[in-house]
Amino acid sequence: MVDLGIKIHNVEFKNPVLTASGTCGFGEELSDFIDLSRLGGIVVKGTTLNHREGNPYPRMAETPSGMLNAVGLQNKGVKNFVNNIYPRIKDIDTNIIVNVNGSTIDEYIAVTEQINELDKIPAIELNISCPNVKEGGMAFGVSCPSAEAVVKAVRKVYNKTLIVKLSPNVTSIAEIAKAVEGQGADSVSLINTLLGMAIDAEKRRPVLSTVTGGLSGPAVKPIALRMVWQVYNAVKIPVIGMGGIMNATDAIEFILAGASAVQIGTAIFKDPTIPVQVIDGISSYMEKHKIGSISELIGGLQM
């Protein structure tokens, strides 16, 4: 038996495979397809202080080896999560992590304070990288001072595990990672989607209602891998890698580049059983290469 267990700050994960925010609902939506307790963790849909309707349709465009989305953080607000969703999912035998969003620092704080009260949420993922909202979101994640300000403020009100989700739409993601580490982040997750655009040549119009959207899927994997490797070499806190992972080999590449854990996102749209296939595939890889513990692989890239 191989040991797939990892630790991020003080949270133990049975394996390094999590489902990414915005691609797995609240976990329940996948329960017909997979045994949720097999997952290392579930990062639930981005949550804001108030109900958000999100952006108008159309919100999606298929692109070569990927897709653009412009959902815009549609969610029913943190109170709905606390009162209606949390009771239904809290006893799933995996780590439930809430992705926290805000238009202002005060909103991030307000959401975090309410999530902090929930015993069975061991960590939050602070989303300073959503490209699809007009206010806040990515704006916080593209400069060191604003990233520092929001992480500092949230750190003050949250003493469980604080993961900060970084934007790839920056000149140096390693600088941003160092900045949030300096303000007490326990881990960073990357990458969120890359800002992109699709045009319908026949109609001579943008495909998305918002004109631009976030690119994800295998198309972004090389960029994500590069960024995970750069951030791993820049910070001491654990890195959670994501971006176009479709199978166990992709996941192992991220782990070799320095990721302690990975998130599966857009792949779920294509096949919701992929997260479990990735877990099984990592086990097989470790058996084949006689690796006893996944921790031996983290950052194990041979140069």
Binding site residues, another protein, CB under 8 A: 22-25, 29-30, 32-33, 45, 53-54, 56-60, 62-67, 69, 71, 74, 217-218, 266, 268-273
What is the smallest separation between the CB atom of 223 and another protein, expressed in angstroms? Answer: 17
Q: Other CB atoms closer than 10 Å to residue 38's CB: what's the count?
A: 15
Nearer to another protein among residue 25 and residue 299 (C-beta) = 25
What is the smallest separation between the CB atom of 79 and another protein, expressed in angstroms? Answer: 16
Beta strands in 146-185 (DSSP E): 161-165
DSSP 8-state code for residue 265:
-
C-alpha span between 248 and 274 (Å, rounded): 9
C-alpha span between 130 and 153 (Å, rounded): 19
What is the smallest separation between the CB atom of 71 and another protein, expressed in angstroms? Answer: 5
Mapped onto helix, strand or coil, the DSSP state of residue 221 is helix
Nearer to another protein among residue 32 and residue 91 (C-beta) = 32
C-alpha span between 105 and 152 (Å, rounded): 10
Annotated catalytic residue, options 8, 36, 98, 130: 130
What is the smallest separation between the CB atom of 9 and another protein, expressed in angstroms? Answer: 27
C-alpha span between 274 and 131 (Å, rounded): 25
Nearer to another protein among residue 74 and residue 143 (C-beta) = 74
Nearer to another protein among residue 132 and residue 230 (C-beta) = 132
Select from 148, 156, 155 the least CA-distant residue to 128. Answer: 148
> Does residue 24 carry a catalytic annotation?
no
Give catalytic residues, as residue numbers.
130
